[in-house]
Amino acid sequence: MSQTHLTLRDRQTAILEKMLNLNINAENSDLTESLNGEEIIWKVLVLDSKSTAIISSVLRMSDLLRCGITMHTHINANRSPLPDVPVIYFVEPTRANIDQIAQDLKEDKYASFYINFTSSLSRDLLEDLAKSVAMTGKSSKVMQVYDQYLSYIVTEPSLFSLKLPDVYARFASAKTTEEEINSAADIIANGLFDTIITMGSIPIIRSQSGGPAQLVSEKLDQKLRDYVISTKYTTGPDYSQRLVLILFDRNIDLAAMFSHSWIYQCLVADVFKLESNTITIETEKDGKKTKTQYDLEPKDFFWNANAQLPFPDAVDNADTELKNYKEKAEELTRGAGAQNLEDLDNHKDDLLQQTVNQLPELTARKNIIDMHMNVLLALLNELKAKGLDSFFEIEQSLSDPKSRQRFLDVLRDDGNTHNLEDKLRTFIVMYLTTDLPSDYVSSVEREFAKHEEFNTAALSHIKKLKDSLRIRNAMVMNTYTKDSSNGSSQGNSGALLSSLSSKLYNLADGKISEGVGSLISGVKRLLPEKKAMPITKLVETLMDPNNATEESLKVTDDYLYYDPKVIRGSHSRKPKRQTYLESVVFVVGGGNYLEYQNLQEWAQQSTQQGNSKQVVYGSDDIYSPSNFLKEITLLE
């Protein structure tokens, strides 16, 4: 794969693996295999909480072993000395971590020290490190000190997070001081700086004005200009195309944070917990709560192919994958003269070796299918228990008075108290994106008031924002593009869920159900209309202005323009409309999987149409709707 087509996850993984190989280029090396008789260097890896999250999102135990890591441990853990083994530190640049490294050095805890920081070490801390090391009298043991510029977490090929909670509340609260705001903006700019360094290109910066995005962009521009000056940065042989970094404030489309989605990945993140590429499902039986965790490997073929698809399509594809597995298993056993796959393990005949060699891959594929079958089944149970399909359908046609009435009927009559939060979310989306009659709003609020134990404080903040958001975003919110071929969301969704339920339970029992064609015909009615979300529409306008409408261009022409490579004179100037092939889109105040998937869908469609586009999406944190609702509640 060429460098220009590496994803952000590819790039971060390559840097981490280089670090684990003592910062020596060791592409595709595997220390668990023979290295031409060379002695294998086994190492200890010492992490802190931030670096653990960074590594665990892209590397697994087998990857660490392949890089020669025999043990990994937390820097604050009670660690036994290993004086004959080299150690790799990968930690945040903090005084506490520096002090601990110096103490380890003083105690001769390891044979040699390779020190790596997640982000740039400040001059003050660098001096502290040098002084602390010198005082031990063992500076010869320190072999390397590196800034790795990796203080961000990648969970998807083109999705990253700075893992900074409560940023939206911090910027929105009247209690936040100017010093706290500047500190938060600095931390975000530092994380974005690391991401940009990993991307390997100094970008043009475009930003919303007058809010947190502008503050972050100003600080980031200064950091990048200092970097260009200090490193005498050049873009390399092909500098005709630069990526564009686009910064938005979360209020550009607040409704997206509360919306119900029918996309597989979005549903998993909404209904369960999706963090560091691990799905956590919590169930309760007989008063006891249990947690089940499923790891999403970077090579998870099913997740890679279905995460962006509607949930019913994922169900159907699970059926197909299971059928393919069964056919392949039968083909192998039949060709080898065995009764089943297990029997193949006992065959030692050389003629069967080729068949036996296929077993690990086939078994691994089956394990992935089984895992997703379990997740899909758990999703279906939650969808049915909370009636989530109803909220998704209502949100697909909020401007229709019939949908409003249907929502009020559900609120009054469904008798389900397990989905009050989902009802509140749908109402917030409705309130933010449409003009509701005051008597309708009052009716809804009276229904919520009947549940005294349920906290609706978030509505107060939403009401305060309504007018300003409507004025600021009206043009953007109305620039949806639709693909009419999908039709609208209609039909008997209860019957659909029943059909899906039967199908999944059959699959879980290892049975292949019939009537797939009829299921697909029912699924089509619940597919969402293809819409470019507000952020996607703005990104499209900024990246491809030649095909944008004048209304959209009027919005983006007002976005701030920074060129960090201009180190003399004014670096912020009136922007020119320019086409970009690659962008990093960053939302200050929280991101979500729905926007990520919508941007990737647009990029894929553009590329298929011969207009190649690549988009990386990130935020200070990637939220589930429930977690963002809790953060909004903190404001009141």
pLDDT at 327 over 90: no
**Residue 330's CATH number:** 3.90.830.10
**How far are the Cα atoms of 56, 167, 230, 582 from residue 571, in angstroms, in the given order?**
38, 28, 17, 21
- Tell me the Ramachandran region of residue 195: left when phi exceeds 0, alpha when psi lies from -120 to 50, beta otherwise: alpha
Q: Are residues 332 and 401 in the same domain?
A: no
Residue 106 in domain: yes
Between strands 614-619 and 530-531, the pairing is unpaired
Task: Give the C-alpha separation, 55 to 45, whole Å.
Answer: 11
**Residues pairing with 90 in the sheet:** 47, 116
Q: Where residue 241 falls among pLDDT bands split at 50, 70, 90?
A: confident
Instruction: List Cβ neighbours of 230 (8 Å cut-off, separation of 6 or more).
Output: none
For 244-291, what is each residue's pLDDT tens digit?
999 999 999 999 999 999 999 999 999 999 998 999 999 877 778 899
- Listed residue (227, 225, 224, 151) closest to 188, CA to CA: 151
**Helices 8-20, 49-56: inter-axial angle, 10-degree rounding:** 120
Spatial CA neighbour of 16 closest among 49, 53, 58: 58
What CATH number has the domain bearing residue 444?
1.25.40.60
* Whether 146 and 189 share a structural domain: no
Q: Is residue 287 part of a domain?
A: yes
pLDDT bin (cut points 50, 70, 90) of residue 9 is very high
Query: How confident is the model over 195-213, as pLDDT tens digits?
Result: 999 999 999 999 999 899 9
The answer to whether residue 487 scores a pLDDT higher than 70 is no
468 and 375 housed in the same domain: no
Question: How would residue 523 be classed by pLDDT, with cut points 50, 70 and 90?
Answer: very low
pLDDT band at 32 (very low <50, low <70, confident <90, very high): very low
Render pLDDT for 74-125 as a digit per residue (tens, 0 to 9): 999 999 999 999 999 999 999 999 999 999 999 999 999 999 999 999 999 9
261 alpha-carbon distance from chain centroid: 16
For tokens 């912020």, the residue is 572
pLDDT at 573: 64
Proportion of the chain above pLDDT 90, given as a percent:
60
Based on the domain organization, do 333 and 406 belong to the same domain?
no
Helices (H), 67-118: 95-106
Please tell me whether residues 38 and 143 are part of one structural domain: yes
Q: pLDDT tens-digit profile of 607-619?
A: 988 889 999 999 9
Residue 129 within a domain = yes
Whether 491 is in a domain gets the answer no
| Residue 37's CATH number | 3.40.50.2060
User: Is 185 within the bounds of a domain?
Assistant: yes
| Whole-number pLDDT of residue 431 | 94
> Do 231 and 284 sit in the same domain of this protein?
no
Query: What tokens does 276 get?
Result: 């560091």
Instruction: For residues 320 and 437, state if they share a domain.
Output: no
Residues whose CB is less than 8 angstroms from the CB of residue 484 and which lie 6 or more positions away in sequence, other chains included: 529
pLDDT in tens, 123-173: 999 999 999 999 999 999 999 999 999 999 999 999 999 999 999 999 998
More confident residue, 375 or 356: 375
- Could you tell me whether strands 273-275 and 614-619 are parallel, antiparallel, or unpaired per DSSP bridges? unpaired
pLDDT given for residue 247 in this prediction: 98
Assess whether 180 and 141 both reside in one domain.
Answer: no
Task: List Cβ neighbours of 367 (8 Å cut-off, separation of 6 or more).
Answer: none
CB contact at 8 A, 607 and 613: yes
pLDDT for residue 502 is more than 70: no
**Residues 88, 17: one domain?**
yes
In this predicted model, which residue has the larger pLDDT, 505 or 614?
A: 614
- For residues 31-56, average pLDDT: 78
User: Is the same domain home to 360 and 412?
Assistant: no
Give domain status of residue 499, yes or no: no
Choose one of 97, 128, 150: the last residue of a domain.
150
Q: Which residue has the higher pLDDT, 507 or 382?
A: 382
Confidence of residue 483 (pLDDT cuts 50, 70, 90): very low
- At 369 the pLDDT is 92
In the listed set 351, 386, 421, which residue is the last one of a domain according to the structure?
386
Whether the per-residue pLDDT at 385 is higher than 90: the answer is: no
Final residue of a structural domain among 119, 150, 181: 150
Task: For residue 421, give the H/E element and its range.
Answer: helix 420-433
Q: How far apart are CA 321 and CA 317, in angstroms?
A: 6
> Angle at which helices 593-608 and 534-543 pack, to 10 degrees?
40
| Average pLDDT over every residue of 471-492 | 42
pLDDT of residue 251: 93
Residues 80 and 142 in one domain: yes
Question: How many domains does one find in the chain?
Answer: 4
Rounded-to-integer distance, Cα 550 and Cα 548, Å: 7
Comparing C-alpha atoms, which of 214, 158, 153, 156 is closest to residue 189?
214
The answer to whether residue 258 is domain-embedded is no
Encode 472-525 in three state secondary structure: HHHHHHCCCCEEHHHCCCCCCHHHHHHHHHHHHHHHHCCCCCCCHHHHHHHHHH
Question: What does pLDDT average to over the chain?
Answer: 84
Domain for residue 590, yes or no? Answer: yes
Its domain, for residue 538, covers 155-253+533-634
pLDDT mean over 370-391: 89
Shared domain check, 307 and 294: yes
Taking Cα atoms as reference points, which of 369, 12, 365, 2 lies closest to residue 155?
Answer: 12
